[in-house]
Structure 1
Amino acid sequence: MHIGLQLYTVRDQTAQDFKGTIRRVAEMGYEGVEFAGYGNLSAAEMRDLLQETGLKAAGTHVSLLALQEDAEREIKYCREIGCPHLVLPWLGQEWINEEGLKKLAPILNELGKRCRDQGITFAFHNHAAEFTEVAGAYWLDRLFEAVDAETLQCELDTYWAAYAGVDPVAYLKRLSGRVPVVHIKDMTPERTFTEAGAGTLPIPSYIEAAQAAQSQWYLVENDAPQIPSLESAQRSLAYLKGLK
């Protein structure tokens, strides 16, 4: 498995200097990045930046609205920069119910097929809300039952699963072979974000389970760093490398 950084972690820095921040991330020793926006770079510019820094495009987060407006544009960008995973990062609460699921499943099925036909893996990234029970099962489970595994994969955010009271290890086992990317972050005793290894979550067990589930990338993320964001990213990377 490879270690990458979800760039949402350092969004304060990318907003000021996108290219310079990417170079800093590469200098830290990360192997790849997951995008949360492209800093207004064209695909050609992004491809050149990745080549310059040696970073891989591990994935990209693209909103449902953007995909519905122009999925072809988003898929083409992924193809041109060599990004294998296009991830739906978030859904509004209006979708997290029975009726929302019925409407959403065919939309994601169609988007997933379009991605698959062009060699891109389409995936869904969870927060805590998707572990709401709907008709006796987690809404997230219902989603993965409604959309075929060849069409929709899972990017499991271990923090949000744990926050919802779900065991990420058990969930990784349940979705083995369907979780190519795993988000790694840690939780303070007060249930807020912190750097990997600085909190209460049993991250080594998550990594072991992710390896067994055939995951390909660990992606560091901190939704709200309490120290400078690049320092946060560096600390998490150092911890994960220490586990290897």
Structure 2
Amino acid sequence: MKKIPVGLQMYTLREICAKDFVGTLEKVADIGYAGVELAGLYSLSPGEVKEVLDDLNLKLAGNHVPGERDLDKLIRINNEMGCTAAWGPCMPEGKLPTDEAGCIAMAEYADRVGAKMKRNGIQLYYHNHSQEFQKINDRYIMDWLLEETDPDNVAAEIDVMWVQHAGVDPAAYILSLIHISEPTRL
């Protein structure tokens, strides 16, 4: 049976990373993880992070960022690390929409950010929290985002804990996003 590589979301270890980021990465590698999703560089440069990950044979699955704030800087940092995926929220001025026009503006903004990242070799994944599961005109804000953006520019990282926190059944929500076809031949 083929071994499936498993990575670790470093946000889980953020308090330990703040004290000893490199030592924490060393322990993650020693445990046997194949890769990590970063949640900060903890005063290291992007080049230093890449060097540490390479030395430990840890793959960089992605970079979780608090928001795009300075998009050009985010792109530069990710490119310096060889990171091709970034996760995070993507709201104009960090504000959640309150009406249909706001949802459309959010989607258009995310699409522009994702397109620029894509042109620079990085896939944007929108990471939800519970607030994206408020409804506007009978649609979740998350659905507005996913349905009104180009899927080549904006993908989703569905955080099931936050979906549950919002009072939505995570399994049912994820199933609503999946298209399953019956094969006519294999």
TM-score, normalization by structure 2: 0.84
SS at match of 1:75: helix
Match of 1:135 in 2: 137
Q: CA deviation at 1:80?
A: 2.4
Match of 1:78 in 2: 78
RMSD of the TM alignment (CA)?
A: 2.2
Task: Select which of 12, 37, 59 maps to 2:62.
Answer: 59
Match of 1:118 in 2: 120
The 5 A counterparts of 1:223-242 are none
- TM superposition outliers: structure 1 runs of 4+ over 4 Å: 89-93
State how far apart, in whole Å, the 1-side matches of 2:109 and 2:90 are: 15
Q: CA deviation at 1:109?
A: 1.2
Change (3 A) 1:90 1:2: farther
State how far apart, in whole Å, the 2-side matches of 1:118 and 1:150 are: 13
The letter for the 1-side match of 2:96 is W
- Note the residue ranges of structure 2 that are not aligned, 5 or more in a row: 181-186
Moved more, 122-131 or 76-85: 76-85
Match of 1:187 in 2: none
State how far apart, in whole Å, the 1-side matches of 2:80 and 2:59 are: 13
Change (3 A) 1:90 1:74: closer
Q: CA deviation at 1:175?
A: 2.7
Q: CA deviation at 1:90?
A: 7.4
Q: Is 1:43 matched with 2:46? A: yes
- Note the residue ranges of structure 1 that are not aligned, 5 or more in a row: 178-211, 213-244
Q: Is 1:97 matched with 2:98? A: yes
Change (3 A) 1:17 1:4: same
SS at match of 2:151: coil
Higher relative contact order structure (alpha carbons within 8 Å, sequence separation ≥ 6): 1
Match of 2:21 in 1: 18
Structure ID, larger Rg = 2
Per-residue deviation, residues 19-40 of structure 1 (Å, max 9, x unmatched)? 1111111111222111111112
SS at match of 1:33: strand
* Percent identity between the two aligned chains: 35
Per-residue deviation, residues 149-185 of structure 1 (Å, max 9, x unmatched)? 11100011111112223232233333338xxxxxxxx
Change (3 A) 1:90 1:30: farther
Q: Is 1:155 matched with 2:122? A: no
